Amino acid sequence: MPLYWFHCRACGGFDLAFAMADVPAAAPCPDCASSSKRQFGVAALIRPGSAATRLIDATERTASEPSVVAAPPRRPVPVTRNPLHRKLPRP
């Protein structure tokens, strides 16, 4: 059964599972039992575990948790192998 999101004004959001034919417009809050309206959000269009999802997760992780480098690489990394790039000015 799919999960549906409801929002209680006092407690915040919570998820409840209903059959698609039995989804109510409001449900009681599990904490305070007040009537909470159903909220509509965006659909999850990305498959978990796919290459796109792994790339997005890795990109977000490097933004918030960049890897720490203790030393420069031992061998210089070749920037380009194109012979025309040899004519470019060097720093």
Point out which residues bind Zn ion (CB under 5 A): 8, 10-11, 29, 31-32
Q: Which is nearer to Zn ion, 10 or 71 (by Cβ)?
A: 10
| Helices H / strands E in the chain, number of each | 1, 4
34 or 53, CB closer to Zn ion? Answer: 34
Indicate the residue among 31 and 60 with the shorter CB distance to Zn ion. Answer: 31
71: exposed, middle or buried (C-beta count within 10 Å: 0-12, 13-18, 19+)?
exposed
Output the CA angle 51-69-52, nearest 5 degrees: 10
In angstroms, what is the minimal distance from the CB of 13 to Zn ion?
10
